[in-house]
Structure 1
């Protein structure tokens, strides 16, 4: 039963996108075509850029000791957002913008739980001298 709802949702998504395009076109007119064209170009550029960047990002995360899955998930979210921008419609564009604007999208940069909270602390030993020697 649950699988049927998921299939229905995926099949109704293009219909909802078409209804949204027609509704927005009736409100703002021909600017819809410009929006859809610019969104598609932005999606293609985003996919091309991520195609080039994912390897060095993964290598950097491995060299810095971070978990490599964080950079892979970040690349996956960016590729998914680019694909949604290429798909014509406003619902997919909003979902793509949410994916792009979520924290940690660009490099999986999250605080390392093993790193101390204050990096300015210098560890060492000290010895207090009597006050009369300092005069």
Structure 2
């Protein structure tokens, strides 16, 4: 953990050193042009990511598959886009690595191995299975899609009421 904290504190200094090295090698204007190009690329990636992610998630749900890997890829692509927007050549190198699909897959699997719990909801089998630290249990789903369970405090409120509305007529 101290190594990670040291890296976090040293990152801005390494980025500044990168600016100096690249600026001396190619000049000030080409260095600024590279920074502006990386920011523009990051914005374009982030802008196009939303609708593409929704389409991929919908396809995964239609196939009845777990969308976890799709969400993981989308989150890492969003992180890569943000790293491209942040000025600096080291962050750009990290972002370009995150844009490589096998690198993202490797990171998703590494993160998945460290996950403490997984909640799996299957509509076809009408049950919810919770996995938590090697223990599992089946829970009964809600009676109807979107309807509150019998023990839900929302059932006690009348129609047209909620946390942001006052109970009773207006």
TM-score calculated relative to the size of structure 2: 0.56
Number of aligned residue pairs: give it: 103
Cα shift at 1:104: 8.4
Counterpart mapping for 1:19-58 below 5 A: 19-29=17-27, 30-58=29-57
Larger radius of gyration between Structure 1 and Structure 2: 1
Bigger relative contact order, structure 1 or 2, given CA contacts below 8 A and separation 6+?
1
Unmatched runs of 5 consecutive residues or more in structure 2 = 105-170
TM-score calculated relative to the size of structure 1: 0.70
> Which structure dedicates a bigger proportion of its chain to strand?
2
Unmatched runs of 5 consecutive residues or more in structure 1 = 106-135
Runs of 4+ in 1 over 6 A off after TM superposition: none
Cα shift at 1:75: 0.3
Superposed CA deviations along residues 22-69 of structure 1, whole A, max 9, x for unmatched, are 110001002010000010011011111112222221111111233200
Structural RMSD (CA): 1.6
> Which structure dedicates a bigger proportion of its chain to helix?
1
